[in-house]
Structure 1
Amino acid sequence: MQRKNERFVERLPLVLRRPWHAYLLATVFCLIAFAIRTVAEIAMPVGYPFVSFFPAVILTSFLFGVRPGIYAGVLCGLISWYFFIPPRMAFDLHPGVLLALVFYGTVVAVDIALINLLQKANFKLAVERERSRALAENRELLFRELQHRVSNNLQVVAAILSLQRRHVDHDVARRALDDASARLALVGRISRALYNPSGEGQNVRSFLTTLTADVLEASGRDDIVLTVDAPDGLTLEPDIAVSMALIVTEAVNNAIEHGLPHRGGSIHVGLDISDGTITLDITDDGKGLPANFDPGFGQSLGLRISNALAGQLNGRFSLMPAAKGGATARLDLPVRA
């Protein structure tokens, strides 16, 4: 309702199909003001000849502009002078009448001038608002196009790496190209999904739920139950969400590939905030960490990438045995993230 009122005010003064319609309506307003002043004659004290005519002039100026407003001011002044300023039924001019007419004319002129200035300012504001809206739409369109192109370029690079894999005979090199291709494709998908021109953060629960479901589906495993637990209303900035997505993806893939390689099980992704720290745990009930596991992550590229990404976020990544068997990958971040 308020927005409709704003749009109506922005259209003022009204531009009628025929200009004389504005003067006709101004005459109607003046006659209504005259009727109200006549009816109120019994209850009103002596004087106040213009009291009902000011609203007619203001309303006319507000709706139809300066010229109809001036016309209404002159017409109302003449009606007041003739019918309500003694001696009545005459256009008698003496110092008292002259002072009353000067007062009336001054008030009417000030009212019309103020209304005109306000409407001009409101018109400029409406023009600027429309210009800002158009710029915002263009900005959003260009931003989405940029994100689309960046995402597509990442997908193309991932596809090139995947094609290049066919010409590599070494198993380790092929595996490295597969991993790089998958990570690039993931970054492309995340960039397209997360970034938006308004700069709004990403809801953590929906983000983690969608991400882990995609990872599980990509693995082709239907014997693993994956659950996500995160507080409501928590959001992450896009840059942090991308890094977190890569870490979570790596941890879930590790749980599927190394923790649950030959049997079904469960993976739980939980996020908690306490003591100024955000703690993200990815826990599986698989076979756990090997006896010779290197806490420094040894030669595991994925774990070293996770550790590096955590460092970029001023956080810490660790991999440890779970309390009830299996393994837990943990990411600790400051709350400001």
Structure 2
Amino acid sequence: MPKAGNHFLERLPLASDRPVLGVSVTLILVAGAFVLRWFADPFLPSGFPYVTFFPAVIVSSFLFGVRLGALSALLCGLLAWYYFIPEYRSFDVAGPGVLALLFYVFVVVTDIALVHWMQRANRNLARERELSRTLAETRELLFSELQHRVSNNLQVAAGLLSVQKRQVDDTTARAALDEAARRLALIGRISRQLYDAGGATRSMREFLEPLCADVVEASGRTGVRCSINVAEDAPLSPDAAIPLALIVAEAMANAIEHGFRDKEGGCIEVHLARHGADMVKVEVRDDGDGLPDGFRIEASDSLGLKIATMLASQLNGKFDLIREHGTTARLLLPA
């Protein structure tokens, strides 16, 4: 947002649509410069006929543009010539007076030209800024529309899989289609959260909080509570967002489906902390029934766990399940 001073400068020159006001203020400036010069005359040495008129010319040019600046320069030059250059109260001029007039013309022409060039550059800058703002708004709008359409398409794909499973009699195939639909629906729900149109990087906490709320809501289990415990936050790479979302969602879904199978509800805690100097640890802890004896993730035939392990490997990390006070799904990622 432009500062107030910049906003004022962008409006210069003023009163372009009210010429009477501009001329009136210019005449007041000229009159003020003349009165000030008149009263200062006894205290000034010879050779300073324009000392109070230069500011009037500059201010007039600055506020009202080239035309009224030129009018101010003409009036100030005539007043100084008539009253303060020998012969006084006459437009006759001798050698030193000619040099003073030439010097005055050179200075005011230079001042007016510089003010004009600066104002023109400032107007061009304001137009470029407005164009950039418009382009940024258009880009953000298109980006949001794209995200919206991608999310909708994923939701449609998930819905089609759900419809298709009704025509499948095999229980295993129906379960696979149901899982695929659930994952697509999850990606669709979180896709709007993954990226920022302005390119801003989000923290992992900002990402995990709505994700976990979505997973619990999608489960339909009103007795399940989820909390986020962040010991030390970390920025989230956009490339890691979807894999991280799927892994955390899979761990939470396993906790809800298996850990709380015989319970009305339970508590899930998503814990985020640093692990060593160069790793981030994300743990999904539940207070459910825990893992069966002798469980090893490598020997599991769960498609969801295989996907979580594969995605963690793609991120150069590691995913594992640990039995401690329920079940802990641990994901280690490079910081």
Short-chain TM bin: over 0.9
Q: CA separation in 1, counterparts of 2:69 and 2:299?
A: 83
Q: Which residue identity lines up with residue 244 of structure 2 in the other structure?
A: M
Per-residue deviation, 1:272: 0.5
Task: Give the equivalent residue in structure 1 for 2:22.
Answer: 22
Task: Give the equivalent residue in structure 1 for 2:302.
Answer: 300
For structure 1, the 5+ residue unaligned runs are: none
Q: 1:277 aligns with which of 279, 288, 291?
A: 279
| Structure 1 contact 144–196 (Cα < 8 Å) conserved | no
Task: Give the equivalent residue in structure 1 for 2:100.
Answer: 100
1:299-318, Cα deviation, whole Å (9 max, x unpaired): 21111111222222222212
Q: TM-score, normalised by structure 1?
A: 0.92
The change in CA–CA distance for 1:139 and 1:225 in structure 2 (over 3 A counts) is closer
Task: Give the equivalent residue in structure 1 for 2:201.
Answer: 201
Per-residue deviation, 1:42: 4.3
Q: CA separation in 2, counterparts of 1:224 and 1:158?
A: 24
Q: CA separation in 1, counterparts of 2:24 and 2:95?
A: 33
Task: Give the equivalent residue in structure 1 for 2:64.
Answer: 64
Q: CA separation in 2, counterparts of 1:163 and 1:68?
A: 76
For the residue of structure 1 that corresponds to 2:294, the secondary structure is: coil
Task: Give the superposed CA RMSD.
Answer: 2.0
For the residue of structure 2 that corresponds to 1:329, the secondary structure is: strand
For the residue of structure 2 that corresponds to 1:296, the secondary structure is: helix
Q: CA separation in 1, counterparts of 2:94 and 2:309?
A: 95
Task: Give the equivalent residue in structure 2 for 1:266.
Answer: 267
| Structure 1 contact 297–303 (Cα < 8 Å) conserved | no
| Structure 2 contact 86–93 (Cα < 8 Å) conserved | no
The change in CA–CA distance for 1:267 and 1:150 in structure 2 (over 3 A counts) is same
The change in CA–CA distance for 1:39 and 1:143 in structure 2 (over 3 A counts) is same
1:74-125, Cα deviation, whole Å (9 max, x unpaired): 1111111222223322223111111111111111111111111111111111
| Structure 2 contact 260–288 (Cα < 8 Å) conserved | yes
The change in CA–CA distance for 1:267 and 1:127 in structure 2 (over 3 A counts) is same
Task: Give the equivalent residue in structure 2 for 1:321.
Answer: 323
Q: Which residue identity lines up with residue 5 of structure 1 in the other structure?
A: G
Per-residue deviation, 1:202: 2.6
Tell me whether 17-26 or 76-85 shows the greater mean CA deviation. 17-26
- Which 4+ stretches in 1 moved above 6 angstroms? none
Q: TM-score, normalised by structure 2?
A: 0.92
| Structure 2 contact 49–84 (Cα < 8 Å) conserved | yes
The change in CA–CA distance for 1:144 and 1:94 in structure 2 (over 3 A counts) is same
Matches within 5 A, 1:42-81: 42-81=42-81
> Identity over the aligned pairs, expressed in percent?
50
**Is residue 290 of structure 2 the alignment partner of residue 288 of structure 1?**
yes
Tell me whether 303-312 or 286-295 shows the greater mean CA deviation. 286-295
For the residue of structure 1 that corresponds to 2:200, the secondary structure is: coil
| Structure 1 contact 83–89 (Cα < 8 Å) conserved | yes
The change in CA–CA distance for 1:153 and 1:12 in structure 2 (over 3 A counts) is same
Matches within 5 A, 1:184-223: 184-223=184-223
Q: Which residue identity lines up with residue 60 of structure 1 in the other structure?
A: S
Matches within 5 A, 1:152-167: 152-167=152-167
For the residue of structure 2 that corresponds to 1:41, the secondary structure is: helix
The change in CA–CA distance for 1:2 and 1:198 in structure 2 (over 3 A counts) is closer
Per-residue deviation, 1:20: 4.7
Task: Give the equivalent residue in structure 2 for 1:121.
Answer: 121
Q: CA separation in 1, counterparts of 2:59 and 2:327?
A: 76
Q: CA separation in 2, counterparts of 1:20 and 1:176?
A: 80
Tell me whether 143-152 or 89-98 shows the greater mean CA deviation. 89-98
Q: CA separation in 2, counterparts of 1:250 and 1:297?
A: 17
1:247-279, Cα deviation, whole Å (9 max, x unpaired): 111011111222221124322111012412111
Q: CA separation in 2, counterparts of 1:297 and 1:135?
A: 54
Aligned length: 333
Per-residue deviation, 1:141: 1.3
The change in CA–CA distance for 1:148 and 1:223 in structure 2 (over 3 A counts) is closer
Task: Give the equivalent residue in structure 2 for 1:253.
Answer: 253
The change in CA–CA distance for 1:267 and 1:46 in structure 2 (over 3 A counts) is same
